[in-house]
Amino acid sequence: MIVVTGAAGFIGSCVAKDLLQVAEEPIVLVDDFTRKDKKRNLKALERLEMVARDVFFDWARDKDISAIVHLGARTDTTEFDWSIFQKLNVDFTKSIWELCVQKNARLIYASSAATYGDGELSYKDDHSIIPDLKPLNPYGDSKNQVDKWVLKQEPSIPWYGLKFFNVYGPNEYHKGRMASVILHAYNQITQNGKMKLFRSHNPNFKDGEQLRDFVYVKDVSKVIQYLLNLKGHSGIYNLGTGQARTFLDLSKAVFNALDKSTEIEFIDTPEDIRDKYQYFTEADMSKLIMSGYQQTFETLEDGIKDYVSNYLLESRAY
């Protein structure tokens, strides 16, 4: 069987639904299923077996597991209680790794582009720079601690750590402040007719020209399916599009998807995140491509058009 952790969440629920269409093995979902605000994400997955996160390792003891797609994590970049990240991101992932080694199961786990910090050492998924990376917040640090620990292991299993860049798409409606800028833009534009963007506090970037690598969740799912069948090439990989785009580009794409004229207001970046703010991220995707991945990624405009037209306007989950 294939286990998907974080299966009630944004990326996990989309990946699980796509795997349900293509995988020959049974799909088992793992998460904290008590959160009512995630129920919509599970609508297409109701017939699958669901295992509570707290009992997963006991449940897994006698199960035949061929692969674990570990997407469960605390992802709040404004959380500063390290004990939460230690338990849910670091220790839990280490236990998942050890379980996969015991079961001789393939592992795909979620890292993050937040590990790159301000990008001083580049955004290249080169194992040699990982020990020297300096994330800007505890969330990024927790992900980097796992990456560093993994690289010290002597694995006997196929494994892939994915440094997710800015993922957006359906099933993120429960994420609140941590939802993608696309969802915030949609909500602001439909409610107020305009979009608020953070003003730049860096003289090297004009207002609205901060850059991110935005990747559609459907592309993330395709990469994970590819890695579930890849022979060899274990390692840590970037997962973005390889093309940074501005927040102005993003905003205009949402206005266009809604067939509305562009109206943007700039506001100060909140002080609690200002000194941790990344002004530029762009995934170097050459490593994944060199492994044999050949599919193209959605453009920001096409991804936003699909997300807005087929999910947000329809109030539909993936």
List, by residue number, the catalytic residues: 139, 175
Q: Show the tokens assigned to 162.
A: 């994915």
Element (H, E) at 13: helix 10-22
Kindly report the backbone phi and psi dihedral angles of residue 296, in degrees, each rounded to the nearest multiple of 5, phi listed first.
-85, 155
92 vs 65: CA distance, rounded Å: 17
Q: Show the tokens assigned to 215.
A: 């990747």
β-pair type (245-246, 211-212): antiparallel
Contact 296, 224 (CB under 8 A): no
15 vs 29: CA distance, rounded Å: 11
Q: In the chain, how long is the greatest CA-to-CA distance? A: 58
The Cα angle at residue 110 between residues 224 and 71, in degrees rounded to 5: 80
Q: CB within 8 A of 316, min separation 6: which ones? A: 170, 310
Contact 144, 128 (CB under 8 A): no
Q: CB within 8 A of 144, min separation 6: which ones? A: 111, 115, 130, 133, 135
